[in-house]
Chain A
């Protein structure tokens, strides 16, 4: 199908962004679904991007291992931040992650190996479209499977009422830490894909602004199910392209759409709530 190849070629950057932002949105969802707020998703993404880019530039590791390392590096940092802050209830994680992006930016600028303010150039284009969407599909399927089990119910319980959840035997600190680690891994994976898609990364790509954009995917899409944030990411990624004719007004319009959704669709563009207990097969229902 040559016409399909044409489309894929012309819009490759956009198509990659759709999938990568979908992964980032899912990474945000995993934290929010467990009742915590992280503003470090962009920082986790950046760690994955730098880890992956450096490994590809300096070693001959196969891409699968590069991806695995890019998922693990941010998870280690997430553990260091999460273990002390998640023992406490409240917004400590959000506060602790606000500064993370800035701290890492300073590291990227000053450490020699990370290319300083210019960032890293000539990263090999190892990301294939199918890889991104396979990862996104698997992550979505996993989020649905786990979300509809005792683990998903525990997550919603700790988000809804931490004290009642604990009385039910749910270990909130452990559950929220696990969610944060999974979330950091997804963001790291997305960062690695994006670095090997764009061929260039810089220290300013993963700052607070990016963290807020990732959060807005989840807010626009809604967090009733894993689908919401992914749809939010697709909309917010495609919108600037669709609005291209508006030129300079496009950012204003983009912002306006987010505000309108928050005002009139408080549960997001996908208000559907994922059930937490499977249905009996038809005919068995009493």
Chain B
């Protein structure tokens, strides 16, 4: 099957600390792929490397067979790559709707002259953009918040706005960094349904998340990181029983206790 994202031998060091070490994995088109691991395992750093926010020390990143390793951040959006941030990074002064519209930047085509003279082509593009942005807000349940400043939203709403903004570029691959963090169980459930719908629209998802129930239910495939290394990979049913994974999460003692009982992750 086709790999939409292919990461090979990816490494990143911060001074003495090796945050990501020779990580290799592939994300198949149409999958929801989970990237899990304890705090500090290097998940966010992997996202920063894939999106180009940080340069890797080593390794290759390919989207749809095309290497993007040396592309600047802004050039990757045009190739169908989008992401959200664990520490929310919205454009606070803009309205909710404008945030979504800004997410569409890479696929808009209006030139400076068309903007300056407000040509019919520019008008048509902006009108379509407005409709599409409102539709995305409907999808994430923020339609009635469209004209509020983004900074006024609640935490959970801001997370959903990040998703809508990420979807606005019509990406092929969306990286989600802890989208359920800070959400209550009700919101988390709604988010799981939302992400399922997003996948059904043809968007491949790479998902970092700590809520194991959420990850196990939603993901088609899971990659596990620990201390920057890839320690396991497989479908959720295998991962939740993998002793190496259980040990990484609970430590050796916890794993031993778990082995005596019958529960799993």
Residue numbers of A with Cβ under 8 A of B are 142, 145-146, 149-154, 156-157, 160-161, 163-172, 273, 275-278, 280, 286
A276 to B73, CA, bound (A): 24
Stretch from B98-106, B178-186, B211-219, B236-244 that touches the partner: B98-106
Give, as a whole number of angstroms, the nearest-CB distance from A54 to chain B.
31
Verify A160–B127 contact, CB threshold 8 A.
no
A151 to B104, CA, bound (A): 12
A276 to B115, CA, bound (A): 12
A-chain residues with CB within 8 Å of residue B169 when the two chains form the complex: 168-169
Verify A277–B133 contact, CB threshold 8 A.
yes
B-chain residues with CB within 8 Å of residue A166 when the two chains form the complex: 52-53, 72-74
- Given known contacts A160-B94, A277-B97, A286-B134, A167 and B110 CB-to-CB distance under 8 angstroms: no
Give, as a whole number of angstroms, the nearest-CB distance from A140 to chain B.
13
- Given known contacts A145-B115, A153-B102, A164-B85, A169 and B78 CB-to-CB distance under 8 angstroms: yes
B-chain residues with CB within 8 Å of residue A160 when the two chains form the complex: 91-94
Stretch from B34-42, B116-124, B251-259 that touches the partner: B116-124
A266 to B89, CA, bound (A): 23
10 contacts between A and B (CB under 8 A): A142-B116, A150-B104, A160-B93, A166-B73, A167-B51, A167-B77, A167-B82, A169-B78, A169-B169, A170-B74
B109-139 contact mask (Cβ, 8 Å, vs A): 1 or 0: 0101001111000110011011101100000
The yes or no answer to B108 lying at the interface (CB within 8 A) is yes
The yes or no answer to B33 lying at the interface (CB within 8 A) is no
A-chain residues with CB within 8 Å of residue B265 when the two chains form the complex: none
A168 to B134, CA, bound (A): 18
A-chain residues with CB within 8 Å of residue B73 when the two chains form the complex: 163, 166-167
A168 to B108, CA, bound (A): 11
Verify A153–B78 contact, CB threshold 8 A.
no
B-chain residues with CB within 8 Å of residue A152 when the two chains form the complex: 115
A171 to B169, CA, bound (A): 15
B-chain residues with CB within 8 Å of residue A170 when the two chains form the complex: 74, 105
Give, as a whole number of angstroms, the nearest-CB distance from B23 to chain A.
21
A-B CB proximity, top 9 nearest: A169-B106, A169-B77, A149-B115, A166-B73, A164-B89, A160-B91, A153-B102, A171-B74, A276-B98
Main secondary structure of the interface of A (DSSP, over half): helix
The yes or no answer to B90 lying at the interface (CB within 8 A) is yes
In this complex, how many residues of chain B approach chain A with their Cβ under 8 Å: the count is: 46
A-chain residues with CB within 8 Å of residue B123 when the two chains form the complex: 278
A273 to B118, CA, bound (A): 20
Give, as a whole number of angstroms, the nearest-CB distance from B21 to chain A.
24
The yes or no answer to B229 lying at the interface (CB within 8 A) is no
A-chain residues with CB within 8 Å of residue B126 when the two chains form the complex: 149, 277-278
The yes or no answer to B12 lying at the interface (CB within 8 A) is no
A99 to B109, CA, bound (A): 39
A163 to B87, CA, bound (A): 12
Verify B89–A169 contact, CB threshold 8 A.
no
A-chain residues with CB within 8 Å of residue B115 when the two chains form the complex: 145-146, 149-152
Verify A168–B93 contact, CB threshold 8 A.
no
Verify A154–B89 contact, CB threshold 8 A.
no
B-chain residues with CB within 8 Å of residue A165 when the two chains form the complex: 91, 102
Verify A276–B94 contact, CB threshold 8 A.
yes
A129 to B83, CA, bound (A): 52
Give the residue name and chain of the B residue nearest to A171 (CB): B74
Verify A280–B82 contact, CB threshold 8 A.
no
- Given known contacts A153-B105, A169-B169, A145 and B116 CB-to-CB distance under 8 angstroms: yes
A-chain residues with CB within 8 Å of residue B92 when the two chains form the complex: 160
Give, as a whole number of angstroms, the nearest-CB distance from B75 to chain A.
8
- Given known contacts A163-B89, A167-B83, A168-B105, A150 and B94 CB-to-CB distance under 8 angstroms: no
A134 to B252, CA, bound (A): 77
Verify B112–A168 contact, CB threshold 8 A.
no
> Of the candidates A150, A161, A280, which one forms a contact with B89 in the assembled complex, judged by CB atoms under 8 Å apart?
A161
A-chain residues with CB within 8 Å of residue B127 when the two chains form the complex: 278, 280
Give, as a whole number of angstroms, the nearest-CB distance from B67 to chain A.
18
B-chain residues with CB within 8 Å of residue A161 when the two chains form the complex: 89-91
B-chain residues with CB within 8 Å of residue A163 when the two chains form the complex: 53, 73, 89
Give, as a whole number of angstroms, the nearest-CB distance from B74 to chain A.
5
A145 to B165, CA, bound (A): 23
A-chain residues with CB within 8 Å of residue B97 when the two chains form the complex: 277
Give the residue name and chain of the A residue nearest to B125 (CB): A150
